[in-house]
Amino acid sequence: MTQRCRIGLINGDGIGPEVVPAAARIVDVALTRTGRSVEWIPLDIGRAAIESVGEAIPEQTLSALDDLDMWILGPHDSAGYPPEHRTGLTPGAVIRKRFDLYANIRPAVAYPGVPALSPQMDLIIVRENSEGLYADRNMARGTGEFMPTPDVALAVGVITRAATERIALSAFELAMTRRRQVTIVHKANVLMMTTGLFRDVCREIGQRYPQVQITEQHVDAMAAHLVRRGHEFDVVVTENLFGDILSDLAAELAGSLGSAASVNSSADKVMAQAAHGAAPDIAGQNIANPVGIIGSAAMMLDWRANRTGDHDLAVAATRIRDAVGSTLSKGIATRDLDGQATTTEFADAVVAAL
């Protein structure tokens, strides 16, 4: 019997209903070629959920994700929700917290045929995803930002040994499958206790991997190095805020933020979620770049394959990446990559390449 994969499918807001179905179609074709079938589990968050059940992140969506090992999440546009739905955690934050998706893996790869400021770039930023200075992730209850007076705003930053150890392990394990180089990014010259702890724990974990070359950079210097010599870096491990900023910079240097893939994972669950946002200004025009979410879906399959030994998933992921690369090398691309293809036309071309 054909083994079936159960995958959650959440379109989200803005361009999500255009790019997410494109990615699902490509995953479907790639897995079918390996003799597998997909059972898609459609779920709602965001504006669609508000309109149907009156809340941005319904409990029935979360309950359904409890029973799944992997899902694709489109972008959310919390700022565009009705005022009463803009307070509290965003849908993405609720999902991250519920499933402890502590590792945000963000590659920056320059595709052949795509104009890029750093055409040889091929690095991965391993971003700690559960704490740091992000107000939705650093308190057991409430938010990590507060105002003691109307003219003073404060933020709490959190770095823990436990969270740093597990993200460092993710980075060094990943480096063992690549060029065996890890760069620890911090700001311990100023944030001595917080990012100093992050640096020190990463160093300790690195001692377990004598085959891996370890370097360090302050975050401001790292931004400059990415611009000047981004192609020299392999795996970069850093805390939450630094990782968010550096990964967007690296994505643009490699071609476009719209092409930036990303997964969020825990020990046993993985969520494909492109690094870009909902882009409401171009929603509904069929011009959005689906490369980011397609690449995220391929990463999701790879992550699952590595955890389970499922060779078919790994083969499908490789075929998806090869098909995307082949399509872009032929000059078929969306407008943000200097092409003329619509979202649908690009997806059609990738399917043809598969």
| Residue spans of beta strands (DSSP E) within 110-239 | 122-128, 145-149, 152-155, 181-186, 213-218, 235-238
Burial category of 141 from C-beta neighbours within 10 Å (exposed 0-12, middle 13-18, buried 19 and up)? exposed
Distance CA 22, CA 11 (A): 10
Distance CA 218, CA 230 (A): 15
Q: Any idea what DSSP says for residue 79? A: G
Instruction: Tell me which residues are annotated as active site.
Output: 134, 187, 220, 244, 248
Q: Which residues have C-beta within 8 Å of that of residue 286, sequence separation ≥ 6? A: 18, 342, 343, 344
Question: Bridge partners of 108?
Answer: 123
Distance CA 123, CA 250 (A): 9
H and E: helices and strands count for the chain: 11, 12
Kindly state the greatest CA–CA separation across the chain.
Answer: 65
Helix residue ranges per DSSP H, 112-209: 161-175, 194-206
